Homo-oligomer: A and B are copies of this chain.
Amino acid sequence: MSRYDVTFLPYNRKITVNSGETLIRAAMEAGVHVNASCGGEGVCGKCRVLVETGTVSGGESERLSAADLESGYRLACQATIASDLTVRIPVESAVDTSALGTQVTPRQTARIQQMDFEELKEEGLFVPPVEKIYLELPQPDAQDHLPDVTRLVSFLDLQHNEHRLEVDLRVIRSIPDIMRQADFKVTATLARPVRERGKARIINIQAGDTTERNYAIAMDIGTTTVYGQLLDLKTGDILAEHGDFNGQISYGEDVITRIVYAEKEGGLEKLNAVVIATMNKIIGRIIKKARIDAGDISTITIAANTTMTQLFLAVNPRYIRRAPYVPTATLYPPIRANDLGLGLGDQVTALVYPQVSSYVGGDIVAGVMGAGLYRAGALTLYLDIGTNAEIVIGNQDWMACAACSAGPALEGGGIEFGMRAAKGAIEDFSIDPVTLEPMNITVGNVRPRGICGSGLIIIVAVLFEHGIINSQGKFSSDLDTDRIRERNGVYEYVLAWQKDTQIDRDVVLTEIDIENLIRAKGAIYSGCLTLLEEVGMGVADIEHIILAGGFGSYVDLEKAITIGLLPEIELDRITFIGNGSLMGAKMSALSNHIRQDVGAVTRMMTSFELSETPSYMDNYIAALFLPHTDLDKFPRIKQRLDERRAHST
């Protein structure tokens, strides 16, 4: 893919982008505001720009006059970049140069932190929990009457230094015939003990040499989505992966409604069956995708939050949602996958990530393992943001964790036009500080239907930065625009007029929406702060932030800090781990060392109940401001606001 330079005039701002990118997205990325109401579908006609040099394709809309077209005007949202370009933003659709200088900060999402497989190998941490060993056994004769299993076990002991082996009855049953059919040339699959002093078990015996075919499955059971990966234990490669909605969704959107359903007659059995069905669907899919034989799968590792874990194991979660909120167990023993209803061979044992508490579950423990937090020197804040936010603070020496209910605002819930990040969701935004006209960019470049979580953060941050809303999230009353209006006693900003939307109404952001967002971010921020205080530390001590979960991949970090969702820290110290739970599950599948560490790490994670920590409520109330009551906690934001105020006065 070619990359081209695009220079935006009159601001003389240059950016290098991929060919085929739309001009409007390039402008947003360059920090250049272009009025745009319809999200990029080309219907509002507001984003006309003049292509002075170079070639674009498209953008010749009927919304432009013949003269404009002739002059080189194009709709920025429809024109895609086909060469180096110089593009001029018309004066009427942008503010003056000086104002623009600070208007749109470049979007910066978190750097993706990936598991470094090579590093894992180098550190000796790549010791798959199951190993295949090919054996050419001596055959019994008149002088050698060793029983079949003893023959196998002794040979492994003498030739391969594998001591103290246990053999499953199921394997014992298959040994005599397989050995003789294969002329005593067989492959044994050994499952390493999780405990150091435990015994290794022979879980499978196959004719001939099958050592090249040794696979594992890693799974993350999310409340919404279940993901599975098929892993090659010889190389560490992901051979296939697949995600699907958790079939339990029809029985409730969040963990609480699921627990309520599970308490009904037959409810637990139903939810259990449904999630097992989802898992089996995914397992079938990745086996098919990878074109492997299910008989060569040796293990499955599973991470999930506490409620999902209990439902998947058919352990009644009723006490999770009742004070004092205790889960049934932290550690679960290794369990035959078959016994759980998973459509895997008898040889497969399921390893389930342990839980810390009712609301800090195996997904978080897995994330801590997957992100390497438990081996970090730097003080790290691990943050998994969703309806509930899970917070871990610590490093290799200690870890404190807590969960707080953020409410659904960050996922679009409780926001009048909130929606998931699907087509038509406003995902990026800027504003003309003079005309207060918006620049909406939507998922899929179509007319807006609503606002997704990451878009919401940007919109609120931008409105706040421009003084359109104050630190309480209230609209300034002295702004001269019909985009800000009162409806049913509530002030709101019209992001898109009805004609520019896909729906039969204006898409707006109300003060109530803003309040909900502030509550959500306040809960998360004060959760982090309280947890830090509980261990005698402060925000300034944080050296690294790891974001996990779907939320972290799209959120603009500076905007998130601007509204006070994330503590202020240099942006390059924030990384994004993606599905930390799945990554942790993968790590355990690939490394028995990791498995061995999990128990100790889980015990190390001291859990705090924020609702019972008196300072939490104070911290929460102090955090119900943009970015915070105490601006000294956000020196960079404070400076920017001060500069802007100085500028506008």
A contact set with B: CB distance below 8 Å: 140-151, 166-169, 172-173, 175-177, 180, 195, 197, 199, 313-316, 318-319, 323-333, 335, 339, 355, 357-358, 607, 609, 612
Q: For residue A340, which residue of chain B has the nearest CB?
A: B169
Given A173-B316, A175-B328, A197-B197: A147 and B607 within 8 A (CB)? no
Contacting pair B173 A140 (CB below 8 A): no
Q: Could you pull out 29 A-B pairs where Cβ atoms are within 8 angstroms?
A: A140-B326, A142-B323, A145-B358, A145-B607, A145-B609, A146-B326, A147-B327, A147-B329, A147-B330, A148-B319, A149-B330, A149-B331, A150-B330, A151-B326, A168-B333, A169-B313, A169-B332, A169-B339, A172-B313, A172-B315, A172-B328, A172-B332, A173-B314, A173-B316, A173-B328, A175-B329, A176-B315, A176-B318, A176-B328
Residues of B within 8 A of A177 (CB): 316
Name the 8 nearest CB pairs between A and B, nearest first.
Answer: A149-B329, A147-B327, A140-B324, A140-B326, A148-B328, A176-B328, A172-B329, A173-B315
Contacting pair B316 A148 (CB below 8 A): no
Q: For residue A306, which residue of chain B has the nearest CB?
A: B147
Given A176-B318, A314-B173: A145 and B328 within 8 A (CB)? no
Given A149-B329, A329-B150, A332-B169: A176 and B144 within 8 A (CB)? no
Contacting pair B141 A176 (CB below 8 A): no
Given A319-B176, A335-B169: A326 and B142 within 8 A (CB)? no
Q: For residue A166, which residue of chain B has the nearest CB?
A: B333
A353→B173 CA distance, assembly (Å) = 17
Residues of B within 8 A of A358 (CB): 145
A335→B144 CA distance, assembly (Å) = 29
Q: Among the listed B147, B199, B339, which residue makes an inter-chain contact with A326, where contact means beta carbons less than 8 Å apart?
A: B147
Contacting pair B316 A176 (CB below 8 A): yes
Q: For residue A323, which residue of chain B has the nearest CB?
A: B142
A315→B177 CA distance, assembly (Å) = 10
Q: Among the listed B169, B316, B330, B609, which residue makes an inter-chain contact with A333, where contact means beta carbons less than 8 Å apart?
A: B169
Q: For residue A175, which residue of chain B has the nearest CB?
A: B328
A168→B329 CA distance, assembly (Å) = 11
Residues of B within 8 A of A199 (CB): 195
A149→B324 CA distance, assembly (Å) = 15
A199→B177 CA distance, assembly (Å) = 33
A315→B167 CA distance, assembly (Å) = 13
Residues of B within 8 A of A173 (CB): 313-316, 328
A169→B197 CA distance, assembly (Å) = 22
| Given A147-B328, A150-B330, A166-B333, 19 new contacts (CB under 8 A) | A142-B323, A142-B609, A142-B612, A145-B358, A145-B609, A147-B327, A147-B330, A148-B319, A148-B329, A149-B328, A149-B330, A167-B329, A172-B332, A173-B313, A175-B328, A176-B316, A176-B319, A177-B316, A195-B199
How near does chain B come to A300, taking the closest CB pair, in angstroms? 15
How near does chain B come to A92, taking the closest CB pair, in angstroms? 61
A60→B329 CA distance, assembly (Å) = 81
How near does chain B come to A27, taking the closest CB pair, in angstroms? 52
Residues of B within 8 A of A313 (CB): 169, 172-173
Contacting pair B609 A326 (CB below 8 A): no
Residues of B within 8 A of A166 (CB): 333
How near does chain B come to A631, taking the closest CB pair, in angstroms? 35
A278→B2 CA distance, assembly (Å) = 79
Residues of B within 8 A of A144 (CB): 324
Q: Among the listed B143, B180, B324, B331, which residue makes an inter-chain contact with A141, where contact means beta carbons less than 8 Å apart?
A: B324
A61→B571 CA distance, assembly (Å) = 117
Contacting pair A145 B315 (CB below 8 A): no
Residues of B within 8 A of A142 (CB): 323-324, 609, 612
How near does chain B come to A575, taking the closest CB pair, in angstroms? 31
Residues of B within 8 A of A328 (CB): 147-149, 172-173, 175-176
Residues of B within 8 A of A319 (CB): 148, 176, 180
Residues of B within 8 A of A324 (CB): 140-142, 144-145
A169→B332 CA distance, assembly (Å) = 7
A324→B18 CA distance, assembly (Å) = 74
A319→B150 CA distance, assembly (Å) = 14
Residues of B within 8 A of A167 (CB): 329, 333
Contacting pair B168 A326 (CB below 8 A): no
A197→B168 CA distance, assembly (Å) = 19
Residues of B within 8 A of A327 (CB): 147-148
How near does chain B come to A42, taking the closest CB pair, in angstroms? 56
How near does chain B come to A315, taking the closest CB pair, in angstroms? 5
Q: For residue A314, which residue of chain B has the nearest CB?
A: B173
Q: For residue A151, which residue of chain B has the nearest CB?
A: B326
How near does chain B come to A31, taking the closest CB pair, in angstroms? 48
How near does chain B come to A199, taking the closest CB pair, in angstroms? 8
How near does chain B come to A467, taking the closest CB pair, in angstroms? 44
Q: For residue A201, which residue of chain B has the nearest CB?
A: B333
A609→B142 CA distance, assembly (Å) = 9
Residues of B within 8 A of A150 (CB): 329-330
A536→B338 CA distance, assembly (Å) = 53
How near does chain B come to A612, taking the closest CB pair, in angstroms? 6
A358→B140 CA distance, assembly (Å) = 13
Given A332-B169, A335-B169: A326 and B148 within 8 A (CB)? yes
Residues of B within 8 A of A355 (CB): 147
A176→B325 CA distance, assembly (Å) = 12
* Residue among A166, A319, A326 with most chain B CB within 10 A: A326
Residues of B within 8 A of A607 (CB): 145
How near does chain B come to A55, taking the closest CB pair, in angstroms? 65
Residues of B within 8 A of A146 (CB): 326
* Residue among A314, A331, A607 with most chain B CB within 10 A: A331
